[in-house]
Every structure is written in structure tokens, then in C-alpha cells.
């Protein structure tokens, strides 16, 4: 008998008995709705556990519809990278970085990343599917629907607006040069993003990563200046600051050397200090004589 015959026989038996088999993605929570001839497609039958393998359905289970939604951490990333004199969307990003104007009227690009999870509570997930997930085609449970309209609509649009509004509360130099300021910026975004997304979708369907349903976490990178002339001016300002710092170090070194000399003059006296410096420079030399030795010194003035 052919090795595949028993499997064919089993499948035929399941079909004749009004049965079927269902397997689910281990990274998805799957909603189950009726789909039989005598059933309403709106009849909710609960969820199928992630990673279910060959679950047998029978009776009215034949023809049921299954909608898998991700139950693991997801992200939405807006990031750009330098390309010549401009910028382009970074590899792996969902879109280019958001452009905003700071309090001092400087245009900047802000790399932003959101990390979140879909609320997998059965009642909440069912409500999300019926209100949002099947609202458009392809449905949000598909990759094309999730990436094609769900995230751009409910994440990109509100996040861009919040970044632009919040950016106007900060100075450009502070955002670029102060990591504490960037953390404050990210914290302000985090506190607003979850509320805004929940308002738009009509519920707490998206949560941050962690127990319960915390705020969606937002991270920001060091902003980039958009205007090339400002970039050049910023570079010149940094060069000038580095030069000033170097000059200050040289001035400090000279001042310390002068202070040391003044202390030596006070210690030895002015005349002795001059003699000491002459000895150090080699202008005055000493000859060491053996014990008991003599030395002849020419008579001065040419006398006999």
C-alpha cells in the first residue's frame, strides 16, 4: 500500500464526518467565527491557542473562519540616513524620519521608534477585530492589511502630529547635544501617543511592552539638521568652541607656570632665583675639585 494512503483515508473520513483540522501560528492569537452553511459569519466561537497543531473540528466547525492577530512585540520605525547632501529612508524603517521645527525655528529630522503589542485579551481582541480589523480590505489580520493601512493610519498619522507639536517646545542645540533633553522629549511623546492612538481607534487595543497594558514606548534618536547652511554653521561653531577650549587649556598652563615661578622667587629671593635660573640654563658652571686639591686663578688687572 502506498505510504500516503492512510493519510488520504483519514482526510476522507474527516470530510465525510463533517470534520476538519486547524493549525495556528505560534506568534498569533487566532479568533474563530462561524462559517458553516447554517451559521452566521458573525457568530464568535472564541480563540484558538497560539501554536495549535492539527486541531480537529467537527459538526458546525466545518467551514469556520479564522483570523490570526500577532501576540508578540511589534514596532513602528520612522528613520532616515544621510545620502549625499540630503537624507533618505533608512533600511528596515517603515517610513522616513519625521521633520519638525524647534522652538528656535530650526528644521530637524527626528528618528522615532514605537514598540507595542496588540492587546490579546479575548474580549478586547474580538472588539478590535469587529470594529477595526475587518473595516477595510485586505483585513488587518493579513500582512498586507497590517502594514498597508492599519499601522500607517493609526500609528503614523498621530505620531507625526505629536512629534511636530512636541518638537516646538525644545531648542535645537539642546535636543541635539543633551541626552537628558532627548529623554524628556521621548517621555513626553510616550505620555501622549498611547492616549491619542486609543482615542483614534476607540479603545485600548494597543499596549506597551510589559504586564498589564502600559503606555506604548517611544524612543528617539539624535535629531539631524535639515538645512545644509545650518549644518555648516553648526560645524563652524563646534570648531570655534574646540579652539576656544584648547586656548583656555594653554592659558591655564601658562598661568600655572607663572604661578610656580612666583613661588620660587618668594622662596629663594629675587637675586638667588636669577642665579638659580642661570645655573639651570648652563650660563654658570661649577667645577668639582678632588679633596685637598688646588686650583690656580689668574691674577686680575694684569699685575705681576
Q: What is the pLDDT of residues 154-205, one digit of tens each?
A: 999 999 999 999 999 999 989 998 999 999 999 999 989 989 999 999 999 9
Shared domain for 41 and 113, answered yes or no, is no
The pLDDT of residue 264 is above 90: no
Q: Which residues have C-beta within 8 Å of that of residue 192, sequence separation ≥ 6?
A: 162, 166
Centroid of chain to Cα 301: 89
The position carrying cell 610656580 is 260
| Nearest of 31, 220, 215 to residue 116 by alpha carbon | 215
String of DSSP letters for the chain: --TTHHHHHHHHHHHHTTEEEE---TTEEEEEE--STTS-TT-EEEEE-TT--SEEEEGGGTT-EEEEEE-S-EEEEE-EEEETTEEEEPTT-SBPPEEEE-TTS-EEEE-EEEEEEE---HHHHHHHIIIIITSSSS-TTSHHHIIIIIHIIIIIHHHHHHHHHHHTTS-HHHHHH-HHHHHHHHHHHHHHHHHHHHHHHTS--EE-SSSS-PPPEEEE---EE--HHHHHHHHHHHHHHHHHHHHHHHHHHHHHHHHHHHHHHHHH-HHHHHHHHHHHHTSS---PPPTT-----PPGGG--
Contacts (Cβ under 8 Å, ≥6 apart) of 53 = 23
Residue at 167 is within a domain = yes
The pLDDT score that the predictor gives to residue 10 is 41
Residues 31 and 174 in one domain: no
**pLDDT higher than threshold 50 for residue 304:** no
**Average pLDDT taken over every residue of the chain:** 79
Cα–Cα nearest to 42, from 20, 67, 22, 21: 67
The domain of 242 spans: 231-280
How many domains does the chain fold into?
3
Separation between Cα atoms, residue 155 and residue 136, nearest integer Å? 16
| Residue 165 placed within a domain | yes
Domain finish residue from 20, 37, 69: 69
Residue 301 lies in a domain: no
**For residue 134, with 0-12 CB atoms within 10 Å meaning exposed, 13-18 middle and 19 or more buried, which class applies?**
middle
Do 33 and 105 share a domain, yes or no? no
Same domain for 219 and 266? no
- Cα 288 versus chain centre, distance: 73
pLDDT in tens, 101-116: 999 889 999 999 999 9
Question: Which is more confidently placed, 177 or 270?
Answer: 177
294 occurs within a structural domain? no
pLDDT digits (tens, 9 = 90+) for 42-87: 788 888 888 776 565 554 556 788 999 999 999 999 999 988 778 8
Q: Which long-range contacts (CB under 8 A, 24 or more apart) does 82-86 make?
A: 82/224, 85/228
Do 243 and 122 fall into the same domain?
Answer: no
Model pLDDT, residue 275: 64
Residue ending a domain, among 208, 226, 244, is 226
| CB contact at 8 A, 107 and 226 | yes
Query: Is residue 250 located within the same domain as residue 212?
Result: no
For residue 226, which phi and psi values (nearest 5 degrees)? Answer: -85, -45
Q: Are 156 and 114 in contact (CB under 8 A)?
A: no
**CATH code assigned at 161:** 3.30.479.30
Same-domain status, 212 and 82 = yes
- Same-domain check for residues 94 and 221: yes
Report yes or no: 198 and 191 within 8 Å, Cβ to Cβ: no
For residue 293, is it within any domain? no
Same-domain check for residues 80 and 195: yes
Residues 78 and 219 in one domain: yes
Do 162 and 240 reside in the same domain of the chain?
A: no
Residue-wise pLDDT tens digits, 75-133:
999 999 988 778 899 999 999 999 999 998 899 999 999 999 999 899 999 999 999 99
Closest by CA position to 66, among listed 86, 87, 80, 45:
45
**pLDDT confidence of residue 82:** 87
For residue 38, being part of any structural domain is answered with yes
Residue 23 within a domain: yes
211 confidence band (pLDDT: 50, 70, 90): confident
**237 and 221, same domain (yes or no):** no
Inside any domain, residue 298: no
Amino acid at each position: 500500500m502506498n505510504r500516503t494512503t492512510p493519510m488520504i483515508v483519514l482526510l476522507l473520513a474527516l470530510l465525510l464526518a463533517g470534520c476538519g483540522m486547524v493549525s495556528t501560528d505560534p506568534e498569533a492569537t487566532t479568533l474563530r467565527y462561524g462559517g458553516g452553511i447554517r451559521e452566521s459569519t458573525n457568530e464568535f466561537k472564541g480563540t484558538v491557542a497560539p501554536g495549535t497543531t492539527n486541531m480537529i473540528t467537527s459538526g458546525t466547525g466545518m467551514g469556520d473562519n479564522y483570523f490570526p492577530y500577532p501576540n508578540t512585540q511589534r514596532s513602528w520605525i520612522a528613520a532616515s540616513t544621510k545620502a549625499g547632501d540630503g537624507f533618505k529612508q533608512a533600511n528596515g524603517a517603515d517610513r522616513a524620519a519625521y521633520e519638525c521645527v524647534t522652538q528656535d525655528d530650526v528644521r530637524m529630522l527626528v528618528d522615532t521608534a514605537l514598540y507595542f503589542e496588540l492587546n490579546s485579551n479575548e474580549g478586547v481582541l474580538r472588539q478590535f477585530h469587529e470594529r477595526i480589523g475587518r473595516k477595510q480590505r485586505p483585513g488587518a489580520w493579513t500582512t498586507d492589511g497590517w502594514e498597508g493601512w492599519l499601522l500607517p493610519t493609526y500609528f503614523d498619522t498621530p505620531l507625526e502630529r505629536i512629534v511636530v507639536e512636541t518638537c516646538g517646545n525644545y531648542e535645537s542645540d539642546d535636543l541635539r547635544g543633551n541626552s537628558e533633553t532627548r529623554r524628556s522629549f521621548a517621555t513626553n511623546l510616550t505620555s501622549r501617543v498611547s492616549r491619542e492612538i486609543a482615542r483614534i481607534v476607540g479603545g485600548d487595543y494597543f499596549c506597551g511592552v510589559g504586564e498589564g497594558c502600559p503606555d506604548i514606548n517611544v524612543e528617539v534618536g539624535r535629531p539631524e539638521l535639515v538645512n545644509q547652511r545650518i549644518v555648516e554653521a553648526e560645524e563652524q561653531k563646534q570648531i570655534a568652541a574646540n579652539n576656544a577650549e584648547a586656548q583656555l587649556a594653554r592659558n591655564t598652563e601658562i598661568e600655572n607656570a607663572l604661578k610656580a615661578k612666583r613661588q620660587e622667587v618668594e622662596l629663594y629671593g629675587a637675586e638667588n632665583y636669577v642665579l638659580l635660573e642661570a645655573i639651570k640654563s648652563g650660563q654658570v658652571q661649577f667645577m668639582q675639585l678632588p679633596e685637598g686639591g688646588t686650583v690656580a686663578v689668574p691674577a686680575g688687572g694684569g699685575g705681576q
